[in-house]
Structure 1
């Protein structure tokens, strides 16, 4: 067992027991309680927000030169790498993910802080072309207090993608991790405190979204909210933000198409399609959950896909051989199973999976078999609604126009995968698909240097990239007169 965080939350630089309802965190592989965390309360949020506003206004951080703020981010990255094995083990216990995946997520978080530090040191304000007797320039300043609400499926990586640019921009941050998986955010809070971030600039506030998340979003001291999670919650946050006239960044759900054209390299496509939906046990917003295959290759491709899917190794995240780990929580596993039952009612063929696995080793865990469905139109609910589990729906397409129409027939627009040898087809279709990210002959590859976000119900705003820091700042224009003449309007 990894070392578990103490039953304390971080409120404005002080570690103490939260005043909210206790939360039991459960190991998804065994169903056993790992620990109890006393969540924050609405009063804790108020205290953290007020202290955060004070800390953000303090010149000690706000006016600290960029290269010195960057040093703190580099120290955070060093400490994450120092504790990588322990953090990986903790995330596997808290989320059920395989150690291979949690190691990658931990190192990704360290890389995010390093990249952001480099971007911060090299960020430039702009001297704009003057159109009169003055010098014009554009500068960027901190917003103040940022509310960062993160999901349960990849805690430390999601936390870093919000914390690093928000802190780099000079802000204070109220971090609310998901109720089911609070442990990584608490561990990361300890690391950031050790790295020397001034007190008050970070609070870690676990608890119910309807209590803690709502208190953060509505608090008058919070100047922006960044949220990753479900579309319905994102819409609620957007309504509250509109009432405050507050900017938001929303990275929401997806029902991403992955497309196999007639000329695709089938080995490459098979590996990519399986990785795109079954890695992370399908618990990924960008999971390639709708598979479109050219009709001439449909039977061949889907047949081989089903044969290989049936051989995937199911097991606990602590087993190096595991390919498909348990779901994050038994309630979520039951939700996924409910969608497969709905698919059956809608007339789907269950080509493989579609059940909780048999066997003593799976009895207490939140396991579900990797599942492939077909026989449904793209209008079926399981083709339109996000399942967030290891469930793939296969559909044939006849030509490019048919494909684009079906792929874009969704309220979501987060990601897409294309498998083809023809660069002209790839370019043309990638531009026609309504999605924030398109992978060509690969899938689920990420770079902190490349902006990420969605369209339609998949969200608004972008994270990552050099402009990621600017998303947590306000832009101000300055005009400097270059002559001493009074403005002519005021002359007699």
Structure 2
């Protein structure tokens, strides 16, 4: 059951009013345009209170001295709590960002599984005895940073929150979570779940608010020792500039313009289904969306025809309707931005093969909907092929041979993900190694595993989340030597 009264900040295990003079956030349902609820917003005062609470909790002997197995049990109970409140979490996400119901349900399960995974990592990952080069015993141990600021986006709030909070807690830190102002509510529920699971107060504080007010205050706070951010490249650049002055490490997972490649010998039907899923699922609002489809000329016409037919057949509907395959974009402003980029491409000579407009169903008139769109008649240097659109817009570009493909695919400021479809595994290996991307999928796409490191090359980010190294991201190595001489 969703409570529509104003939601409050979560600091030191308690609900707290927003900062005086900071306007509350108004959550709008992008599927209907209706107001969901209000959420109290944090500013610099709340940021300072949350960080000081987190710093005190991180230094407390009860947390610093807690055995990994005990910490793991808390993480596992958080997963239990997420599953117990799964319907509520899924509904909150659907109301705030418009993802279709089945995706929201799947993301609750994924977020809970992330806490379970890091419970296992926490309990089983140990320190190391390093090879001695003298009469001593040397070890590498791993210490928490202290206070971690986790700043998450609106496209997949539950999975992104779990992906940062779970490993940071497993590593022994305290976390101040700043969810997107568009999707603040799942993070607030996570704070309640964590406290009920036995996490000591102050170890997870949740501050809804804008990046300009509370986000900037967290990044600049002297007691914040590491920032983990997922979002746009320009925001990441500003965070990195502040971090550089503080000599503070950052983890930045930023934008993408991922190439999805089809060679002549590929299974065309499988490739088309994966390309469509990779760009239209979640209305294209994913950093790994395969937004540039490079298709070898021998199958170009066939692939384009099938992609257009697939896009036209997708059911765009209210996200809670059975069978809905695409919901609205997360905000009206973002929908308008996507539409403006497509119109600019049209004026520049691009051919809009399908989509490029809002749906005409009367029941969708009040929502932030945009049809799945396929664009051709451009080359890779076109603005629409270089800029991250973050919407259901696919650019289809032909290529001639492997060398031509690699040149075009790598001709981007981004390097987050990529996909390859071919029956030739020697070619797949060569191309995978040549692509400048943090993730390469071969004859599949958008398969994501919490156990596999994830991050980007170039302007797509710094650092790697997920996997065992995803916990080490939130720890500092320390060398310890025991002299063995007389």
Shift of 1:4: 4.7
Q: After TM superposition, list the pairs within 5 Å mapping 1:179-328 onto structure 2.
A: 179-328=181-330
Shift of 1:320: 2.0
Q: After TM superposition, list the pairs within 5 Å mapping 1:406-445 onto structure 2.
A: 406-445=408-447
What residue number does 1:473 align with?
475
What residue number does 1:464 align with?
466
Does structure 2 conserve the Cα–Cα contact (< 8 Å) formed by 1:4 and 1:90? Answer: no
What residue number does 1:87 align with?
89
Shift of 1:5: 7.1
Rounded to whole Å, the distance in 2 between the matches of 1:315 and 1:56 is: 46
What residue number does 1:9 align with?
9
Does structure 2 conserve the Cα–Cα contact (< 8 Å) formed by 1:72 and 1:197? Answer: yes
2:112 maps to which of 78, 85, 110: 110
Q: After TM superposition, list the pairs within 5 Å mapping 1:11-410 onto structure 2.
A: 11-19=11-19, 20-410=22-412
Rounded to whole Å, the distance in 1 between the matches of 2:163 and 2:63 is: 20
Q: Cα RMSD (Å) of the superposition?
A: 1.0
Shift of 1:183: 1.0
Shift of 1:7: 1.7
User: For residues 85 and 455 of structure 1, do their structure 2 counterparts lie closer, same or farther at Cα, with a shift above 3 Å needed?
Assistant: same
Shift of 1:181: 0.9
Residue by residue, what CA displacement relative to the aligned partner does 1:465-489 show, whole Å, maximum 9, x if unpaired?
01211110111101111123xxxxx
Does structure 2 conserve the Cα–Cα contact (< 8 Å) formed by 1:223 and 1:247? Answer: yes
Normalising by structure 2, report the TM-score: 0.98
Rounded to whole Å, the distance in 1 between the matches of 2:335 and 2:372 is: 12
Residue by residue, what CA displacement relative to the aligned partner does 1:149-206 show, whole Å, maximum 9, x if unpaired?
0000000100000000001111110100001111111111111111111011111001
Shift of 1:3: 4.1
Does structure 1 conserve the Cα–Cα contact (< 8 Å) formed by 2:357 and 2:370? Answer: yes
Does structure 1 conserve the Cα–Cα contact (< 8 Å) formed by 2:6 and 2:38? Answer: no
Which ranges in structure 2 are unaligned for 5 or more consecutive residues? Answer: none
Rounded to whole Å, the distance in 2 between the matches of 1:5 and 1:478 is: 53
What residue number does 1:488 align with?
none
Rounded to whole Å, the distance in 2 between the matches of 1:236 and 1:181 is: 22
Rounded to whole Å, the distance in 2 between the matches of 1:199 and 1:303 is: 56
Residue by residue, what CA displacement relative to the aligned partner does 1:428-466 show, whole Å, maximum 9, x if unpaired?
111110000011111111110000000000001000001
Does structure 2 conserve the Cα–Cα contact (< 8 Å) formed by 1:346 and 1:376? Answer: no
Rounded to whole Å, the distance in 2 between the matches of 1:25 and 1:362 is: 19
Residues matched between the structures, number:
484
Rounded to whole Å, the distance in 1 between the matches of 2:182 and 2:306 is: 36
Rounded to whole Å, the distance in 2 between the matches of 1:93 and 1:54 is: 35
Is the partner of 1:54 in helix, strand or coil? helix
Is the partner of 1:139 in helix, strand or coil? strand
Shift of 1:2: 3.6
Does structure 2 conserve the Cα–Cα contact (< 8 Å) formed by 1:5 and 1:183? Answer: no
Does structure 2 conserve the Cα–Cα contact (< 8 Å) formed by 1:138 and 1:478? Answer: yes
Does structure 1 conserve the Cα–Cα contact (< 8 Å) formed by 2:13 and 2:191? Answer: no
Does structure 2 conserve the Cα–Cα contact (< 8 Å) formed by 1:3 and 1:86? Answer: no
Rounded to whole Å, the distance in 1 between the matches of 2:415 and 2:386 is: 12
Is the partner of 2:205 in helix, strand or coil? strand
Which ranges in structure 1 are unaligned for 5 or more consecutive residues? Answer: 485-492
Normalising by structure 1, report the TM-score: 0.97
Does structure 1 conserve the Cα–Cα contact (< 8 Å) formed by 2:339 and 2:356? Answer: yes
Rounded to whole Å, the distance in 1 between the matches of 2:200 and 2:6 is: 21
Is the partner of 1:310 in helix, strand or coil? helix
Does structure 2 conserve the Cα–Cα contact (< 8 Å) formed by 1:52 and 1:200? Answer: yes
Rounded to whole Å, the distance in 1 between the matches of 2:244 and 2:27 is: 34
User: For residues 253 and 154 of structure 1, do their structure 2 counterparts lie closer, same or farther at Cα, with a shift above 3 Å needed?
Assistant: same
Q: Which moved more, 1:358-367 or 1:234-243?
A: 358-367
Q: Which moved more, 1:79-88 or 1:150-159?
A: 79-88
Rounded to whole Å, the distance in 2 between the matches of 1:255 and 1:368 is: 19
Rounded to whole Å, the distance in 2 between the matches of 1:5 and 1:225 is: 31
Shift of 1:15: 1.0
Q: Which moved more, 1:249-258 or 1:33-42?
A: 33-42
Rounded to whole Å, the distance in 2 between the matches of 1:415 and 1:120 is: 28
Does structure 2 conserve the Cα–Cα contact (< 8 Å) formed by 1:140 and 1:474? Answer: yes
Q: Which moved more, 1:467-476 or 1:382-391?
A: 467-476
Shift of 1:85: 1.7
What residue number does 2:454 align with?
452
